[in-house]
Chains A and B, each alone.
Chain A
Amino acid sequence: MSILDGLLDGFATVLSPENLLFAAIGVTVGTFVGVLPGIGPALTIALLLPVTFSMDSPTGAFIMFAGIYYGAMYGGSTTSILLNTPGESASVATAIEGHQMALRGRAKTALATSAIGSFVAGTLSTLALTLFAVPLASLAVNFQASDYFALAVLAMLSVTALVGRSLLRGLLSLAVGLFIGLVGLDELTGQARFTFGTLELFEGIGVTLVIVGLFAVGETLHVAGRLRHLPDHIAPLDPGGRRVGWMSRADLSRSWRPWLRGTAVGFPFGALPAGGADIPTFLSYMWEKRLSKHRKEFGKGAVEGVAGPEAANNAAFSGVLIPLLTLGIPTSATAAVMLASFQVFNVQPGPQLFEKSSALVWALIASLYVGNVMLLLLNLPLIRLWVQVLKIPRPPLYAGILVFATIGVYAVSGSVFQVLLAYGVGVLGLFMRMYRFPIAPVILGAILGPMMEIQFRRALLISNNDLSVFVTRPLTVTLLALAVVAVVLPFLPKWIARLRGRSRDRLAFGEDD
């Protein structure tokens, strides 16, 4: 069956009233789940799984699950932008510029560029999934441990874009994140590290918990501490005016390139068997900051810094489906739960899925196109509703955030210890805010630190402790070279200028250095 035939059949299945309803339920539930801090798509799908046991055909269930996943990616940006409280790692990069935009009365624009960007990226990446799923999968599985290490090095460099005003503070934040990543059982030897004999810490400190703690709890404490000195409401709503949707012509022209670049970063990253949606959002943020003609605006609400990462996290989702469907390899928590749900219905994702269950797969892919349209139609009007959140006076608003954050952490872990841990991380977040340490590098460190360490040690184990493994594999070398270029290139003009004695500019990453 050709791709076109399959896709048309898929659309025929999806466009039935029943399946459209499942898609609509999925994207709506997903959007709201994404908005709530801590409660992610993985937990939601796991909770809904037993409900689907009684369904006759799995198609509806998968359409709904895909909708939840996508919807959560759309919804995740909302609280990041409005309240600076991202609910999961893939929206952390969005919060940096997005919340600054909201503080300057441009919340609607930020939400619009994120919704439209998500739509553009979701649709383009679904198209890429439709056309190239199988060849991409066979390319992606060629990544070995040393390549993943090089990739982590490259991604780690995006910290240079996240440090904000001071490189030293940024690196200290990164170190905190790296330390958090160390806690727990060492994956290779099973040795406990920094657990102080507490079984609860054996699994390590979850990145979601760190995010909820640092952002939701930390922000609440910070606001509570300064309540008397702050205006009643978080931010003014932006004035009207002639706009395309909620975006001005200028915003649109500054957004479309980041949307495409975000898609280009997000999709292949998602397709890697050890990828995920968070790393490409940081890479996209770095890329946008480097390329932007409005570099001065970064840190103060640059629209590119929202458009790029939001496109990247949605594109990554379509990418995640590639190893899941073609190899049966889940690369994120949500994908793992989806894999389990496939197995419940006796559908085994893998090389034979497209032959054995082609109707199901094509229906799933077709539902992604439909889901994207639905999400755009749902989210653009919702912007008007979401921004009303900014009109809520601070005390009840942040009380609500704290309640949702607590419920979120407890719902995922079922453990009071984890809730207290999140509060503890929140206190850390408070002090980091008070002393103007950037928060995002902590998250980057907590995500990338463990990946970098494990892959480095795995590569060495496999090569019998021969370090040359990092310079003999072409792919590894290419990635490491890219990393060097990414560090050096932006400073090359300055260096050359300095060498010729023309410029007295200091070399600095952070603006205060």
Chain B
Amino acid sequence: MPMPAMTRRRLVALVGATALTAVTTGCNAEGSGPAAEYPTGTIQIMAPAAAGGGWDLTARSIQQGLTEGGLVEETVEVYNVEGAAGTLGLSQLVTKNSGDAHQLMVTGLVMIGGVVTNASDVTLEMVTPIATLTAEQEVVVVPADSEYETLEDLMAAAVSDPESVTWGGGSAGGTDQILVGMLAQAAGADPQAMKYIPYSGGGESKAALLSGDLTAAVSGVSEYKDLVAAGDVRVLATSGAEGVDAGEGKPSPTIMEAGFDVELMNWRGIVAPPGLSDADRDAVIALIDELHASDEWQRILEQQGWDDFYKSGDDAAAYFASENERITEVLREIGLAA
């Protein structure tokens, strides 16, 4: 039955407020179904990258978690807006979908780099942060026959003769190059002197490492797991707070443990357009809280091999802001940002 628009909005606001209380008082949304009036229509989730990539998979997993997990009865759609490290999608969300709580977008660390390197007018600070969902550690690898046994060896060479070490990884200004820049900083080298070669797509840098073009490659942990397990490449370090199994069958040393003060997680999250009312914002957060608590989501995390990295609401907003500041600073040091 159609309801006058005002009434419906007020209802959403009311439910949203209830949800907020539920979240802030710590009694989680489980079972109580606070999002009864959100969504009121089709939820559209934008993956600001090509189909098949990490953001796309995240968006489709959220879709799966919401519908298969029975959290919403309305349709959830995923669509792709490809281009410019996600900034194209970001500007579309900001300019076209302002105020619409049914328009969500997947985002992540890479987008911060994209905004900075593309000198985009639209930034991630403009959107409404909802939550961070997953994170993956980065890994530094060398070919199995490399002379470098530890990260210290490699960094010593990179400091004394930057030209002798050819780094490779993902696109310019992306997570991988950011990590190389941070490593150089921590080791006391000039980040701009690092010889970093960007490759498009995960596979290309892998091929370049195996062919001998690269001295060391940087990528997400999952990318090299199989080559590590097969003994074709060697792990030097991973970038998280705690070591993870990067294919060796045991936790690999972290960059911190190797003596460099660097920690970097390639996180992914979800945001809403700017201009949401507080009630709408809280309703979306409540729904994603519910998603995170669901068995279906935990099952998806396990199936995809993603680390749970959940911060929502104000925590997420604070995290987005601090990452924004930190990453912009690193990119400036590398020379990729003005």
Complex CA distance for A333 and B166, rounded to whole angstroms = 27
Instruction: Give every chain A residue within 8 A of B304 (Cβ-Cβ).
Output: 343-344, 346
23 examples of A-B residue contacts, CB within 8 angstroms: A50-B64, A143-B207, A144-B208, A185-B118, A185-B172, A190-B118, A192-B118, A199-B84, A199-B87, A200-B88, A273-B206, A328-B227, A330-B203, A331-B203, A336-B52, A339-B203, A340-B53, A340-B56, A340-B57, A348-B226, A351-B227, A353-B226, A464-B163
Q: Encode contact with B along A343-382: 1 for CB under 8 Å, 0 otherwise.
A: 1101011111100000000000000000000000000000
Instruction: Give every chain A residue within 8 A of B227 (Cβ-Cβ).
Output: 327-328, 350-351
Complex CA distance for A333 and B53, rounded to whole angstroms = 11
**Given A199-B91, A202-B83, does the pair A323, B173 have CB atoms closer than 8 Å?**
no
Complex CA distance for A253 and B229, rounded to whole angstroms = 50
Pair A327/B206 contact, Cβ less than 8 Å: yes
Instruction: Give every chain A residue within 8 A of B64 (Cβ-Cβ).
Output: 50, 53
Distance (Å) between the CB of B164 and the closest chain A CB? 9
Pair A185/B84 contact, Cβ less than 8 Å: yes
Pair B229/A50 contact, Cβ less than 8 Å: no
Pair A414/B80 contact, Cβ less than 8 Å: yes
Pair A413/B201 contact, Cβ less than 8 Å: no
Pair A350/B204 contact, Cβ less than 8 Å: no
Pair A187/B225 contact, Cβ less than 8 Å: no
Pair A337/B51 contact, Cβ less than 8 Å: yes
Instruction: Give every chain A residue within 8 A of B197 (Cβ-Cβ).
Output: 188, 458, 461-462
Instruction: Give every chain A residue within 8 A of B57 (Cβ-Cβ).
Output: 340, 343-344
Sample of 12 further A-B pairs with CB below 8 A, known A142-B212, A464-B195: A46-B52, A49-B51, A141-B210, A187-B198, A190-B173, A200-B88, A328-B226, A329-B203, A341-B52, A351-B226, A351-B230, A462-B166
* Chain B 193-217 residues near chain A, CB threshold 8 A: 195, 197-204, 206-208, 210-214
Complex: chain B residue closest to A328, CB-CB: B226
Complex CA distance for A341 and B60, rounded to whole angstroms = 12
Partner of B226, one of A203, A344, A350, A462: A350
Pair B203/A328 contact, Cβ less than 8 Å: yes
Distance (Å) between the CB of B320 and the closest chain A CB? 21
Instruction: Give every chain B residue within 8 A of A337 (Cβ-Cβ).
Output: 51-52
A425 touches B (CB below 8 Å): no
* Chain B 56-102 residues near chain A, CB threshold 8 A: 56-57, 60, 63-64, 79-84, 87-88, 91
A189 touches B (CB below 8 Å): yes
Complex: chain B residue closest to A192, CB-CB: B118
Pair A141/B207 contact, Cβ less than 8 Å: yes
Partner of B172, one of A46, A142, A190, A331: A190
Pair B81/A414 contact, Cβ less than 8 Å: yes
Q: Encode contact with A along B176-200: 1 for CB under 8 Å, 0 otherwise.
A: 0000000000000000000101111
Complex: chain A residue closest to B57, CB-CB: A340
Complex: chain B residue closest to A413, CB-CB: B82
Instruction: Give every chain B residue within 8 A of A53 (Cβ-Cβ).
Output: 64
Instruction: Give every chain A residue within 8 A of B201 (Cβ-Cβ).
Output: 330, 336
Complex: chain B residue closest to A327, CB-CB: B206
Partner of B211, one of A142, A187, A190, A328: A142
Complex CA distance for A341 and B210, rounded to whole angstroms = 24
Instruction: Give every chain B residue within 8 A of A45 (Cβ-Cβ).
Output: 52
**Given A202-B83, A203-B83, A462-B197, does the pair A351, B172 have CB atoms closer than 8 Å?**
no
Distance (Å) between the CB of A341 and the closest chain B CB? 8
Instruction: Give every chain A residue within 8 A of B40 (Cβ-Cβ).
Output: none
Pair A273/B84 contact, Cβ less than 8 Å: no
Partner of B81, one of A323, A415, A458: A415
Pair B206/A414 contact, Cβ less than 8 Å: no
Instruction: Give every chain B residue within 8 A of A167 (Cβ-Cβ).
Output: none
A93 touches B (CB below 8 Å): no
Complex: chain B residue closest to A143, CB-CB: B211
Pair A329/B204 contact, Cβ less than 8 Å: yes
Instruction: Give every chain B residue within 8 A of A353 (Cβ-Cβ).
Output: 226
B160 touches A (CB below 8 Å): no
B303 touches A (CB below 8 Å): yes
Max chain A CB contacts within 10 Å: which of B57, B199, B210?
B210
A43 touches B (CB below 8 Å): yes
Instruction: Give every chain B residue within 8 A of A339 (Cβ-Cβ).
Output: 52, 202-203
Partner of A349, one of B82, B83, B118, B226: B226
Instruction: Give every chain A residue within 8 A of B225 (Cβ-Cβ).
Output: 348, 350
Complex CA distance for A203 and B86, rounded to whole angstroms = 11
Complex CA distance for A328 and B220, rounded to whole angstroms = 14
B36 touches A (CB below 8 Å): no
Instruction: Give every chain B residue within 8 A of A200 (Cβ-Cβ).
Output: 83, 88
Complex CA distance for A351 and B212, rounded to whole angstroms = 18
B305 touches A (CB below 8 Å): yes
Instruction: Give every chain A residue within 8 A of B200 (Cβ-Cβ).
Output: 187
Complex: chain B residue closest to A338, CB-CB: B52
B21 touches A (CB below 8 Å): no
A112 touches B (CB below 8 Å): no
The 10 closest A-B pairs by CB, nearest first: A350-B226, A46-B51, A273-B207, A329-B203, A351-B230, A190-B172, A202-B84, A340-B52, A337-B52, A141-B210
A145 touches B (CB below 8 Å): yes
Max chain A CB contacts within 10 Å: which of B84, B207, B229, B336?
B207
B120 touches A (CB below 8 Å): yes
A110 touches B (CB below 8 Å): no
A42 touches B (CB below 8 Å): yes
Complex CA distance for A129 and B208, rounded to whole angstroms = 22
Partner of A144, one of B83, B206, B211, B222: B211
Complex CA distance for A346 and B301, rounded to whole angstroms = 11
**Given A53-B64, A458-B197, A462-B166, does the pair A190, B204 have CB atoms closer than 8 Å?**
no
A480 touches B (CB below 8 Å): no
Pair B210/A327 contact, Cβ less than 8 Å: yes
Distance (Å) between the CB of B124 and the closest chain A CB? 15
Complex CA distance for A318 and B201, rounded to whole angstroms = 20
Pair B226/A145 contact, Cβ less than 8 Å: no
Instruction: Give every chain A residue within 8 A of B211 (Cβ-Cβ).
Output: 141-144, 273
A274 touches B (CB below 8 Å): yes
Pair B213/A462 contact, Cβ less than 8 Å: yes
Complex CA distance for A482 and B266, rounded to whole angstroms = 44
B312 touches A (CB below 8 Å): no
Complex CA distance for A144 and B197, rounded to whole angstroms = 13
Distance (Å) between the CB of A103 and the closest chain B CB? 37
Complex: chain B residue closest to A53, CB-CB: B64
Distance (Å) between the CB of B196 and the closest chain A CB? 9
Complex: chain B residue closest to A350, CB-CB: B226
Instruction: Give every chain A residue within 8 A of B207 (Cβ-Cβ).
Output: 141, 143, 273-274, 323, 327, 329
B245 touches A (CB below 8 Å): no
Complex CA distance for A488 and B230, rounded to whole angstroms = 45
Complex: chain A residue closest to B223, CB-CB: A328
Pair A187/B172 contact, Cβ less than 8 Å: yes
Instruction: Give every chain B residue within 8 A of A189 (Cβ-Cβ).
Output: 172
Complex CA distance for A391 and B53, rounded to whole angstroms = 42
Complex CA distance for A142 and B50, rounded to whole angstroms = 29
Instruction: Give every chain A residue within 8 A of B81 (Cβ-Cβ).
Output: 414-415
Complex CA distance for A414 and B163, rounded to whole angstroms = 43
